[in-house]
Amino acid sequence: EPEVTQTPSHQVTQMGQEVILRCVPISNHLYFYWYRQILGQKVEFLVSFYNNEISEKSEIFDDQFSVERPDGSNFTLKIRSTKLEDSAMYFCASKEARSGNTIYFGEGSWLTVV
């Protein structure tokens, strides 16, 4: 079964450093997402991406965050200057089409900011 894959699985970074989290969505999917889950809390929407542009973003997704689809397969989340409160599990997800289709999650990238 096709899967969303994410790298790295775990990254430790110094506060203020830039981090890039990488994702390869399922190949025929058109909608891509980043979600965040702080330890013990709910899964929070960050951003959705369709047709090579952001379609929606939450208030969490401020100027420190950006997303990119640099080629036909990768989808990246960049955090420009990490803060302690950015420590969380970041899930990439993808969906085949807009209308109520299942969103499939990757295994997550656990980011620890020290």
Partner 1 sequence: GENVEQHPSTLSVQEGDSAVIKCTYSDSASNYFPWYKQELGKRPQLIIDIRSNVGEKKDQRIAVTLNKTAKHFSLHITETQPEDSAVYFCAATMNRDDKIIFGKGTRLHILP
Does the protein bind partner 1 through residue 25 (CB under 8 A)? no
End-to-end CA distance of the chain: 36
Does the protein bind partner 1 through residue 14 (CB under 8 A)? no
Q: Which of the stretches 21-29, 61-69, 74-82, 102-110 binds partner 1 when contact is defined by CB under 8 A?
A: 102-110
Q: Determine contact, residues 49/55, Cβ cutoff 8 Å.
A: yes
Please identify which residue in 53, 70, 71, 100 interacts with partner 1, judged by CB under 8 A.
100
Q: Which one, 9 or 17, has the nearer CB to partner 1?
A: 9
Q: Determine contact, residues 105/6, Cβ cutoff 8 Å.
A: no
CA angle, 76 as apex, 100 and 36 as ends, to 5°?
Answer: 60
According to DSSP, the residues that pair with 77 across neighbouring strands are 21, 67
Q: Which one, 55 or 74, has the nearer CB to partner 1?
A: 55
Contact residues toward partner 1 (CB under 8 A) are 31, 33, 41-45, 48, 50, 55-56, 91, 95, 98-100, 102-108
